Amino acid sequence: MSNHFNIDIVNPEQSFLSKDNVFEVVIPAVEGEIGILKDHIPIISFLKPGIIRVFSESEEQSFYVEDGIVEFKDNTLSVLTSSIFDLKDADKNFVSESISSAEAELSKDNIDDQKRFLLNHKVEVLKSISIN
């Protein structure tokens, strides 16, 4: 038996990625990273800003996502997200812009703890991208 399963990443404009030969996907779920292998129990969760890593036999792909929902069912992992890009073609300007806009948001006083946490996290992840 192969230990492969399907992944579908869709954003509102189009289907972003669709593969049927991945054996592990690591997603930045809101309560911590989750590694998903074949025959995982059905799960629904949502994402915090972070990096999705998709492992298949031949390659490893990484994507930055800002938010989104994941559903795993019948060996198909669906990721719905409104903002995603491949780390390989990350746009330096875009990343630094996102960092500064997130930092500007952070400096406001009227944000709640959860939002602050998410924004801090976002800045962290984006910075780690811009260093690489």
In this chain, which stretch among 70-78, 85-93, 100-108, 115-123 interacts with other proteins, using CB under 8 A?
70-78
The residues in 93-122 that bind other proteins, with binding defined as CB under 8 A, are none
- Give 82 or 100: the residue with its C-beta nearer to other proteins: 82
Applying CB under 8 A, what is the total number of residues that bind other proteins? 23
Cα first-last separation, the chain: 37
- Give 14 or 132: the residue with its C-beta nearer to other proteins: 14
Give the up-direction half-sphere exposure of residue 68: CA atoms within 13 A in the CB hemisphere. 27
Check residue 43 for interaction with other proteins (CB under 8 A).
Answer: yes
The token pair at 77 is: 């992992």
Question: Which residues, including other chains, have CB under 8 Å from residue 63's CB and lie 6 or more apart?
Answer: 9, 17, 51, 52, 54, 84, 85, 86, 87
Count other C-beta atoms under 10 Å from residue 64's C-beta.
Answer: 23
Check residue 12 for interaction with other proteins (CB under 8 A).
Answer: yes
Residues that bind other proteins (CB under 8 A): 8, 10-15, 29-31, 34, 41-46, 69, 71, 73, 78, 80, 82
